[in-house]
Every structure is written in C-alpha cells, then in structure tokens.
C-alpha cells in the first residue's frame, strides 16, 4: 500500500535531502515550501518540504509537525535552490535557510503577524453631516476599501469619523494583515519620466525584443557615471509590468536602497505597482511581511540587496543587477554565493531578461559580453550632455612626509569653499588612525583574536578590531616597555575630518562611514543634508562612491589611491580602477563641471592612468592580458578551500592531509598550498587555505565532487569552508 512521501532538505550540513512519511493527519497541511519538524537521529530538526509523491513507506520515519500555514516558497523555486547548492557545493537545506528571512529557520512562527482595521464602503446612499466624515467616506468610496494606515496618508486622525460612519451604516469594519513597510509613510513626489536621450532610446530599442520575447536574455548595460542607467531600468520594468510579469532589482549596498526605492515609488505611484524591499537592514518583522506579500503574489517589484535574489516572485520577467561589479554581491560566510551569478541562473530558469548595469563592469562580465555570451548595451555620454569630470593625478612624492593632503588638493578645497560648492573626499579607512605606536620600543597593539593591529577611534577613546569587534581602552603606558610615548600612526576618516576642521574652521564638514551611519536612518539623514547643501565637505569611506547623486558636488578628492592597489589579491587593480571611476563620477552631476584630484605614489600604474582618462577599454585590455597569462578568471576558474580551528597544529595537519588527497585526484586542476591565509588568525581561529585553479570548469567540478567524502576525514575541531569563484582571498 502506497503512502505520501515527503522529500525534505534539512536545515543542517547534510549533503542530500531525506525522505519522510507524511501521516494522514498532516496530508492537507503538507505542501511544497512549508517547514517541517522531522526526526533526525536522536533529535528533531527543521527541514523544508521539496516534493511530495506516493511511495513505499517502509523504513521511513513520520513527519512530526508542519510549521507553516502557507508555503514560504513555490515549487518553481526548488530547482533554483538545487542548482545553486550544486554549483557552490553547499548543503541544500542551508541554502534554503540562507534564502529565507531571519527568524524562519527554527521552531515555527517566531515572528508575529500584525493586523489592522479595514473599512469597506456599503451601498447605503446619502452623506453624513460632518465635514470630516464626508471626507473619509469619499476616500473609502473612491477606493472601495481602505486600511487605517492608508487613510492616515490623507487624514491625520480619522478614528472618530470611522467609528461614527460604521455606526451610521456607511462603512463596514473588518480586520486584515498589516504589512510592516519602512517606506510606506514616506512622501511620494510623482515623477514624469523625461524624454530618453538618443543613446537611451537606442538601448531601449535593442532591449525591446528581449523584453517581449519571454526567453532568457542576459545583457551588460555599460554606461558611464551619470548616463541614465536607472532610466533604462525604469522603462524596461514598465514594459514588463504591462505584460503582467514581475521585476527584481538588486543593489550592492543596503544604504542605496532608500534612494532607489524613492525613484521607483515616484515612477510607479498611484497603485501602478506594489513595491517590496528585502535586505538585512530591515527588522525581522519587516522582512517577514515583505517575503509573505511577495509569496502571495501581491508585489510586482522587489528591490533589495544580495539576499533578494531568492525572493519568491512568480511570473518573473526581468532581473536588474545595479553596479554588478561590486564585491558586496558575494556572501562572505556560510553559503558563499554571488548574487549576480545567481541572478543569471535564475533569469535563465525563469526565461527572463537579466540586465547587468555598471560604469565599470567586472572583467569577467565584460569578457562574457565581448565573447557574445551576453548582449552588450552602451551609454557613452552623460544625460543633458554634461561633461565627465576632469581627473588629475597628484604624485605624493612631492608632498612632505606625514602630510595627508597635497597642495593641489588643499587649494582646490579652498577654492570650492569660496565659491560655495560642495566637495567630497574619499579615504577608504575608518577610525582616527590605523594603529597606535610606541615610539620608544616600536610596539603596536594587536587584536588577540585576529593578530592584526587595532584601529584607534579617538571620538570614543577605543582601540577596535574591525573584523571581530574586539575593543579595549588605549593604555597610558606601553605594556611592552612601560614607556609613555604612544601616538597614532597613519590616517582614517575620523582623523581626516578633524584635520579638515582645523584647517577650514568655517566649513561644514561631515563624515560618512560605518561608524557614523550605524544608527537606523543616519545614512538617509546625511544624504538629505548633502542634497540640501547643508554640508560643504563630505569625508567618507567607499560608501561615498556608490550610486549617490549629489548635484552640488564639483570636487572629488581621493586621499590615498594606493590603499586598494597594494592589496594582496589579483583583483586589486580592477577594484582600484572601479573605485576611482565610481567616486570620480560623483563630481559634476549638476549644472557645474566637475574636477577630481587623485593622490598616489604610483601615478604610472595602468589602473590609475586609465581611470584618469576615463578609459575602461584600455584598462580591460591590460588587465585581461595579465589575467590570461596567469590563468586567472575569466581565463581560468578558482575555488578557495579554507580550513580553520582553535588548534593551529591540528588545522595545519588537516590541511596537509587534504592537499595530499586532492593531489591524487587533481587531473588538470592545479592545487596550490596549503598556506596561511593573509589573515592567518581571525576571530580566534587559525586559518589555512588551499587554492584550486583550473583552465576548465568541468575538471574543477569533478574534483569538488570528491569533497563530501574527503570532508568526513577532517578531524573534529577543524572546519572546512568551500568558496567557489572567490572574490575575497583574505
């Protein structure tokens, strides 16, 4: 006799889904996409229901409980999760756990569902006597039904009027679920879309067949900063919505979300499209409500950071990946996926258009476009025929040692202040100073967990590790020699802000980094102050380079362009070129022309020279030649294996044993290592890496297929992390 069998992915490091018997009492509630409580050995675990089929129940344990009243994802997403798990060599249950909103990995409905009053107009004719009641009734009649929060957008205090209208029989009161939406109460200024430029019109004409074709169509949209890429996104999405399909928009940083949501709400106002936001900066309740609304089909546009690629959208017609080159699209821990690459996979499986936008495309993305694997769309000019900023490289060899700002940059800042124009300074290191130094014995102060120097934050008198967040109060005397001559070395954004305040006491100076934007709403407040011309000089880390549209900024200064260039990573030149080009693009976006000054000790490096001349293709040709010679992506494929644990000797022994096993099965795959990671100790754990390098992906996949068996031989206390297509090699 056959029974109902559930295929379940356990939210744990288990390689394959398991089968369970669905008891008759749970048949109706067991649906693909719900969480289940199931027996696993001597304990119970949470799993995700992937499939149901009739089969032989012999030897199967029964499902203990169904945890959700409605599915959290549709059956159509299961193949996507499965392909993602296979590609990245990660357990399927952990992939799904990563995809779902926080709070949905455990025992059940941990997040409360909020409800609010819903008012529906009845057929009762006539009008009430009160002016406020008339206004409220007219609003409800026009819409058919409205919630209290929707009414409050038009009437400040409608409560008394609503009660009376219900008593009089004009309205009926019921309850509905209230979605926690941080953007719901923000004002919307309707946006009348501007006439496209000739270049934009040509790009849209190229896109049109793909948008209406219903087939997988990937494109790189390569447009200089300020060329109007967002307008392309908006118009392409408008066309998709007209077909009854949905849109997914990914942004690299949570901080950019409010700005983009504002543009989208302005364009699709008045009920034209419901927009949901998904990112880790939301509360658990906000993210849970957005996820459920998307799963119910109530949302047409989803905007979010990396994890939004898993949004349970059906009828997906387009995926936009804005600033596709950004490293923040790669997850750094746990399930180490790249959202851009998963966007391409999801678009392929949904027969959707995928639009990758950037002024500085990743070398791998541009190479795919050059080889014809993706379509190529280009916007060469800025909107309104605005000129790209003039970029000047300043050799710091001519600047006295210890001085952080060169004479040309100081002069330019002074001139900008005199003219009442805004300036932006990039320094990609937060804190006051990178470290404290004892001048008597040369000792520095290091993190006991990570063995890197502690950054000095003067504002709150702390030494802090930016990796594990360890902190301590700076000592008065050196613990090494008992000397009292301790002083900060180097410069961070906090120190730069302080030095600028001393040099330009009348200037209004602000700082944008993780320290000043940690509080909710702080980043948006800084943006509004910049837009309102309440800040003369904005100092910041790479946060200031990403997507901001400050029309008053006419000067951009890069304090130290060599910081990213000297990074121990083969992508350091690419990251430097992208960062410089992106931050330079913040200048001259308004009526006045822009100017950029880049300080460096390597003015002849091709990444800097090409950035100064706005020459992406020139940079790509030199970078691609370097990569091809050494077999680095896109001309080869990498997997980074990182072993870590509290016992350094045990980690080293496990790494050596794993390398020996890999060598025996390597084939054409080059096995490099084992070697200590650049950050050899992190959060108290010793770290050793093994790099797998192959000219072809299939040979690498064959070797990776052996990892589950090899993983079982790794001793207790040693963890193995598999990073396919690594972006950060630290």
Helix (H, G, I), strand (E, B) or coil at 556: strand
Among residues 181, 106, 193, 126, the alpha carbon closest in space to that of 149 is found at 181
Q: How far apart are CA 19 and CA 63, in angstroms?
A: 9
Among residues 53, 356, 365, the alpha carbon closest in space to that of 233 is found at 356
Residues 6+ apart with CB under 8 A from 42: none
Shared domain for 371 and 414, answered yes or no, is no
Residue 29 is part of which domain span?
A: 3-99
Whether 241 shows a pLDDT value over 50: the answer reads yes
Q: How far apart are CA 412 and CA 556, in angstroms?
A: 10
Q: How many percent of the chain have pLDDT more than 70? A: 95
- pLDDT tens by residue, 467-518: 999 999 999 999 999 998 998 998 999 999 999 999 999 999 999 988 888 7
Shared domain for 213 and 288, answered yes or no, is yes
Q: How far apart are CA 362 and CA 355, in angstroms?
A: 14
Residue with tokens 């030095």: 499
- pLDDT tens by residue, 513-571: 888 887 877 888 888 899 999 999 999 998 888 767 788 999 999 999 998 888 888 99
Q: How far apart are CA 597 and CA 559, in angstroms?
A: 9
Shared domain for 261 and 208, answered yes or no, is yes
| Structural domains of the chain, count | 5
Whether 50 shows a pLDDT value over 70: the answer reads yes
Listed range (166-170, 373-377, 495-499, 715-719) with the worst mean pLDDT? 166-170
Q: Are strands 353-358 and 217-223 parallel, antiparallel or unpaired?
A: parallel
Residue 368: CB atoms within 10 A of its CB come to: 19
Shared domain for 594 and 650, answered yes or no, is no
Using the 3D structure, point to which of 145, 177, 209 is the last residue of a domain: 177
Q: Give the pLDDT of residue 190.
A: 66
Q: Is residue 715 part of a domain?
A: yes
pTM: 0.87
The answer to whether 395 and 543 are in contact (CB under 8 A) is no
Q: Are strands 719-724 and 637-645 parallel, antiparallel or unpaired?
A: antiparallel
Helix (H, G, I), strand (E, B) or coil at 487: strand
Shared domain for 574 and 662, answered yes or no, is no
In 104-225, DSSP assigns E strands to 115-121, 145-147, 171-177, 217-223
CATH number, position 298: 3.40.50.300
Strand-by-strand arrangement of the 217-223 sheet: 275-278, 301-304, 246-250, 316-322, 353-358, 217-223, 375-379
Residue with tokens 């070697």: 675
Listed range (188-197, 451-460, 477-486) with the worst mean pLDDT? 188-197
Shared domain for 357 and 223, answered yes or no, is yes
The answer to whether 651 and 643 are in contact (CB under 8 A) is yes
Residue with tokens 């064959």: 702
Whether 710 shows a pLDDT value over 50: the answer reads yes
Q: Give the pLDDT of residue 112.
A: 59
Average pLDDT rounded to a whole number, residues 256-269: 81
Q: How far apart are CA 436 and CA 478, in angstroms?
A: 10
How open is the CA angle 597-415-551, to the nearest 5 degrees?
A: 70
Mean predicted lDDT score pLDDT of the chain? 90
The per-residue b/e assignment along 416-444, b for 16 or more CB within 10 angstroms, e otherwise, is bbeeebbbbbbbbbbbbbbbbbbeeeebe
Residue with tokens 């009854």: 244
The answer to whether 102 and 282 are in contact (CB under 8 A) is no
Q: How far apart are CA 214 and CA 343, in angstroms?
A: 16
Q: Give the pLDDT of residue 187.
A: 59
Residue 260: CB atoms within 10 A of its CB come to: 19
Using the 3D structure, point to which of 601, 626, 651 is the last residue of a domain: 626
Tokens of 319: 């995926």
Q: Is residue 158 part of a domain?
A: yes
Total residues belonging to the chain: 730
Q: Is residue 189 part of a domain?
A: no
Is the pLDDT higher at 460 or at 427? 427
Shared domain for 7 and 144, answered yes or no, is no
Shared domain for 165 and 234, answered yes or no, is no
- Beta partners for 490? none
Q: Give the pLDDT of residue 186.
A: 59
Count CA atoms closer than 13 A to 196's CA, side-chain side: 17
Confidence of residue 103 (pLDDT cuts 50, 70, 90): low
The per-residue b/e assignment along 287-312, b for 16 or more CB within 10 angstroms, e otherwise, is bbbbbbbbbeeebbbbbbbbbbbbbb
Residues 6+ apart with CB under 8 A from 274: 293, 298, 299, 300, 301
Using the 3D structure, point to which of 595, 626, 657 is the last residue of a domain: 626
Shared domain for 601 and 649, answered yes or no, is no
Based on the number of CB atoms within 10 Å of its own CB, is 97 exposed (0-12), middle (13-18) or buried (19 or more)? buried
* Cis check: omega of the bond before 327, within 30 degrees of 0: no
- Beta partners for 120? 145, 172
Q: Give the pLDDT of residue 108.
A: 46
As annotated, the binding site for Zn(2+) includes 438, 441, 447, 450, 465, 468, 478, 481
Q: How far apart are CA 4 and CA 384, in angstroms?
A: 64
Whether 281 shows a pLDDT value over 80: the answer reads no
CATH number, position 82: 3.40.1440.60
Average pLDDT rounded to a whole number, residues 36-59: 94
The CA-based diameter of the chain, rounded to the nearest angstrom, is 90
As annotated, the binding site includes 438, 441, 447, 450, 465, 468, 478, 481
Q: Is residue 549 part of a domain?
A: yes
What are the backbone angles phi and psi of residue 573, rounded to the nearest 5°?
A: -65, -40
Tokens of 473: 């109060």
The answer to whether 341 and 364 are in contact (CB under 8 A) is no
- Residue 387 DSSP label: P
Q: Is residue 110 part of a domain?
A: no
Confidence of residue 257 (pLDDT cuts 50, 70, 90): confident
Q: How far apart are CA 666 and CA 13, in angstroms?
A: 25
- Beta partners for 641? 690, 722
Strand-by-strand arrangement of the 471-472 sheet: 455-457, 462-464, 471-472
Q: Is residue 462 part of a domain?
A: no
Q: Is residue 104 part of a domain?
A: no
Residue with tokens 């180490």: 336
Q: Give the pLDDT of residue 18.
A: 96
The answer to whether 330 and 727 are in contact (CB under 8 A) is yes
Q: Give the pLDDT of residue 449.
A: 93
The answer to whether 570 and 455 are in contact (CB under 8 A) is no
Residues 6+ apart with CB under 8 A from 379: 199, 200, 203, 221, 222, 223, 224, 227, 228, 229, 232
Q: Is residue 632 part of a domain?
A: no
In 518-577, DSSP assigns E strands to 537-540, 553-558
The answer to whether 284 and 102 are in contact (CB under 8 A) is yes
Among residues 49, 71, 67, 42, the alpha carbon closest in space to that of 4 is found at 49
Shared domain for 616 and 644, answered yes or no, is no
Q: Give the pLDDT of residue 105.
A: 55
Shared domain for 612 and 568, answered yes or no, is yes
Among residues 148, 137, 129, the alpha carbon closest in space to that of 170 is found at 137
Residue with tokens 């392909």: 83
CATH number, position 658: 3.30.70.600
What are the backbone angles phi and psi of residue 556, rounded to the nearest 5°?
A: -120, 130
Count CA atoms closer than 13 A to 179's CA, side-chain side: 20
Listed range (167-171, 173-177, 376-380, 640-644) with the worst mean pLDDT? 173-177
Shared domain for 391 and 497, answered yes or no, is yes
CATH number, position 151: 1.10.10
């Amino acid at each position: 006799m056959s029974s109902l069998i559930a295929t379940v992915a356990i939210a744990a490091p288990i390689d394959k889904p398991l089968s369970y018997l669905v008891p008759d009492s749970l048949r109706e509630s067991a649906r693909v996409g719900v969480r289940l409580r199931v027996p696993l050995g001597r304990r119970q675990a949470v799993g995700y229901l992937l499939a149901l089929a009739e089969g032989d129940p012999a030897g199967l344990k029964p499902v203990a409980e169904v945890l959700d009243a409605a599915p959290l994802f549709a059956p159509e997403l299961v193949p996507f999760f499965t392909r993602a798990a296979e590609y990245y060599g990660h357990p399927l249950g952990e992939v799904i756990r990563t995809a779902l909103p926080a709070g949905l990995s455990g025992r059940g409905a941990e997040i409360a569902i909020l409800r609010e009053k819903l008012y529906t107009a009845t057929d009762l004719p006539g009008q009430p006597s009160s002016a406020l009641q008339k206004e409220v009734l007219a609003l409800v009649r026009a819409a058919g039904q409205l919630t209290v929060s929707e009414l409050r957008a038009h009437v400040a205090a409608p409560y008394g009027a609503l009660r009376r209208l219900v008593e009089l029989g004009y309205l009926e009161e019921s309850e509905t679920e209230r979605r926690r939406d941080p953007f719901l109460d923000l004002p919307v200024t309707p946006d009348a879309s501007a006439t496209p430029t000739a270049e934009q019109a040509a790009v849209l004409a190229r896109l049109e067949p793909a948008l209406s074709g219903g087939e997988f169509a990937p494109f790189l949209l390569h447009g200089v900063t300020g060329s109007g890429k967002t307008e392309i996104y908006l118009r392409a999405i408008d066309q998709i919505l007209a077909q009854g399909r949905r849109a997914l928009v990914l942004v690299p940083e949570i901080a950019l979300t409010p700005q983009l949501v504002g543009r989208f709400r302005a364009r699709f106002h008045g009920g034209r499209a419901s927009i949901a936001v998904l990112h880790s900066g939301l509360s658990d309740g906000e993210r849970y409500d957005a996820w459920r609304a998307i799963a119910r089909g109530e949302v047409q546009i989803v905007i979010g950071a990396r994890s939004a690629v898993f949004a349970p959208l059906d009828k997906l017609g387009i995926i936009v990946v804005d600033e596709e080159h950004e490293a923040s699209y790669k997850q750094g821990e746990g399930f180490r996926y790249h959202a851009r690459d998963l966007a391409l996979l999801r678009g392929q499986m949904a027969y959707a258009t995928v639009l990758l936008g950037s002024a500085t495309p990743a070398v791998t993305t541009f190479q795919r476009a050059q080889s014809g694997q993706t379509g190529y769309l280009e916007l060469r000019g800025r909107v309104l025929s605005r000129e790209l900023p003039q970029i000047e490289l300043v050799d710091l060899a001519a600047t006295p040692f210890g001085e952080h700002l060169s004479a040309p940059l100081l002069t330019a800042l002074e001139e900008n202040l005199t003219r009442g124009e805004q300036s932006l300074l990039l320094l990609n290191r937060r804190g006051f100073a990178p470290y404290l130094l004892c001048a008597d014995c040369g000792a520095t102060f290091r993190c006991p967990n990570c063995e890197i120097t502690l950054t000095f934050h003067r504002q709150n008198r702390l030494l802090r590790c930016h990796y594990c967040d360890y902190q301590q109060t700076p000592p008065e005397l050196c613990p090494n020699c008992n000397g009292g001559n301790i002083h900060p070395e180097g410069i961070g954004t906090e120190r730069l802000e302080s030095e600028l305040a001393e040099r330009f006491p009348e200037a209004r100076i602000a700082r944008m980094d993780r320290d000043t934007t940690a509080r909710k709403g702080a980043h948006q407040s800084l943006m509004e102050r910049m837009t309102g011309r309440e800040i003369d000089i904005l100092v910041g880390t790479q946060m200031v380079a990403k997507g901001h549209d400050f029309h008053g900024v006419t000067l951009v200064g890069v304090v130290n362009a060599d910081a990213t260039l000297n990074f121990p990573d083969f992508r350091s030149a690419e990251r430097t070129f992208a960062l410089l080009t992106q931050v330079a693009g913040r200048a001259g976006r308004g009526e006045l022309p822009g100017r950029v000054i880049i300080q460096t000790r390597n003015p002849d490096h091709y990444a800097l020279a090409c950035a100064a001349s706005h020459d992406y293709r020139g940079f790509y040709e030199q970078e691609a030649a370097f990569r091809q010679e050494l077999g680095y992506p896109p001309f080869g494929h990498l997997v980074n294996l990182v072993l870590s644990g509290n016992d350094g000797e045990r980690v080293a022994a496990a790494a050596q044993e794993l390398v020996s096993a890999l060598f025996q099965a390597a084939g054409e795959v080059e096995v490099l290592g084992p070697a200590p990671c650049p950050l050899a100790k992190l959060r108290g754990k010793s770290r050793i890496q093994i790099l797998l390098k192959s000219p072809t992906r299939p040979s690498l996949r064959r070797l990776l297929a052996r990892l589950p068996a090899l993983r079982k031989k790794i001793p207790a206390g040693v963890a193995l992390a598999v990073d396919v297509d690594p972006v950060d090699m630290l």
